Structure 1
Amino acid sequence: MTARIVFPKTLTYRNQKIRDSARDEECLVRLPGACLCDPAATIWSHYRGVAGGKAGALKADDLCGAYACTACDAVYDGQRPPPRGMTYAEVVVAWFEGHIRSIVRLHAKGVI
């Protein structure tokens, strides 16, 4: 018999203002060769790791996200391959840079 560690499920932080703020924003992930460069296609892209609260089908906390167009988000989520000449590791770095830009933008807009 193996020991099993059970972690209590934590509440996920949700903030509709953050998600709604993506409307008409520019994509801040900016994957060359994938980005649509269309503010109408920008969404709030959630972080994919457990450190941000992701668990199974549960999305990460709303603070753990970035303004990303649907194409950049699809590459980050693994639904589309990385653009030619980019590794997935470089996609993740671009997403994190977009996350930092997005947090700064959220603060400038008074959302957080």
Structure 2
Amino acid sequence: MTARISGLGIPKALTYRNKRIRESARDEECLVRLPGICMHGTAATIWSHYRGSAGGKGGALKSDDLCGAYACTACDAAYDGQQPPPAGMTYADVVAAWHEGHIRSIVRLHAKGVI
């Protein structure tokens, strides 16, 4: 979906938002599962948004809600770069784990009837 930037005629992508997806993280387990830092519970799970532009991220704008994963706040902080990767992992390993968690999350969203 696109919109036009006022007066300029420049197409600007609209970000897809779905409150049901974001709220579905409540009481879910972390599906990113970074070894050594994952909290492995349901109390601190959030909907972690993808950090790349392919998902609609730009500037201060988060990616589309479809582009996310169930992640505990510790795994999300490592993915966002707010804390270093777990011992023995590179940031590329963290990104790969996040993508695996994204696929698990999409499957879970479908099983729950959210998408």
TM-score by length of 2: 0.91
Tell which has more relative contact order, 1 or 2 (C-alpha 8 A, sep 6+).
1
Size of the alignment, in residue pairs? 106
Structure richer in strand, relative to its length = 2
Which portions of structure 1, spanning 4 or more consecutive aligned residues, are displaced by more than 4 angstroms? none
2:87 aligned with 1:81, yes or no?
no
2:33 aligned with 1:27, yes or no?
no
Distance 2:12 2:50 in 1: 18
3-state DSSP class of the match of 1:39? Answer: coil
Tell me the residue number matched to 2:55: 52
* Structure 1: segments with no counterpart, 5+ residues: 1-6
Tell me the residue number matched to 1:39: 42
3-state DSSP class of the match of 2:71? Answer: strand
Distance 1:90 1:8 in 2: 35
Please, which moves more after superposition, 7-16 or 74-83? Answer: 7-16
Distance 1:111 1:103 in 2: 9
Percent of aligned positions with the same letter in both sequences? 82
